[in-house]
Structure 1
């Protein structure tokens, strides 16, 4: 029935991440995977040599607190479908997250236009450009997650491309 959680997937929250160079937006779903809601915007911890960057540690804590069954990371492809440096950064971030939260799976999902859509939605809601800068990453994560949830319902399986770990690379 439309609106119901897929029966082939385990019940539990899902998280989504919108990866930026400065900030990381985080969104979560309800345990049935029906609705995505914003959680927070994390400052991106780009310190070289940090075993587990602070933003990844915070994300891992959120996975534990919510009992998340999966984490979706937005993959910013060009409109043509090709990938550039932002996609490379998102893939590296997803691999880092996957190592820290294993065995919880991480999937990359296409996020073309999510930031643009998030800006448009916030503008339509009456938030000026300066005022919505702090929440646009959360709004983009909500769009990423809702798209993945809709994909789950349509396919009865996780959306996107699974991030596979090679060997034991946990920190």
Structure 2
């Protein structure tokens, strides 16, 4: 034996901002939507037909490796084909510190997983989620518990709707 081991597969994923290119990379299956805040990761899950997004869970952020492990465990459990990551651009379209932190999160996740990531404009989704919860007369404490999952659901649903409009 000469010691020639088979090449290690490249686990690096790709981060995209084009929904059409993202959709073309996907196999059949679910997507996870992510609202990445500084303290939590709000998660949503699509159905297998990628028509409806539903709240999944909120991960309290600790170390990136621990957060990513939980996220990737969920992705494996649900046979997820990709991630839709809320991208917090400023209202004028420029990128501030939160957008840079989101890009870093995507880069770090790409290093651990081959699943593609779509950056999805999330401007005002948390505000929209807050308005929806207030309109539903949700208590302040309950709003704090579910707002990140709801924001992730809005992010994912927006991307699913866009991909459906792009489909032939």
Normalized against structure 1, the TM-score is what?
0.80
Report the CA distance between 1:131 and its aligned residue. 2.1
Residue 147 of structure 2 is aligned to residue 130 of structure 1: no
Could you say which structure has the larger radius of gyration?
2
Residue in structure 2 matched with residue 63 of structure 1 by the alignment: 75
Out of 63-72 and 38-47, give the one that drifted further.
Answer: 38-47
Residue 73 of structure 2 is aligned to residue 28 of structure 1: no
Distance 1:92 1:9, change over 3 A: closer
Describe the SS at the equivalent of 2:80.
coil
8 Å contact from structure 1 (residues 8, 156) kept in 2: no
Report the CA distance between 1:37 and its aligned residue. 0.2
Counterparts of residues 94-113 of structure 1 (less than 5 Å): 94-102=106-114, 104-113=115-124
Structure with bigger RCO (C-alpha 8 Å, 6+ apart): 2
Report the CA distance between 1:129 and its aligned residue. 2.2
Of Structure 1 and Structure 2, the greater helix share is in 2
Residue in structure 1 matched with residue 8 of structure 2 by the alignment: none
Number of residues paired by the alignment? 146
Report the CA distance between 1:55 and its aligned residue. 1.3
Counterparts of residues 150-169 of structure 1 (less than 5 Å): 150-156=161-167
Describe the SS at the equivalent of 1:69.
strand
Residue in structure 2 matched with residue 75 of structure 1 by the alignment: 87
Stretches of structure 2 that go unaligned for 5 or more consecutive residues are 1-22
Report the CA distance between 1:9 and its aligned residue. 5.5
What is the RMSD of the two structures over their aligned residues, measured on CA atoms?
1.9
1:147-171 C-alpha deviation (Å, 9 max, x unpaired): 00011111139xxxxxxxxxxxxxx
Structure-2 separation of matches of 1:76 and 1:7: 24
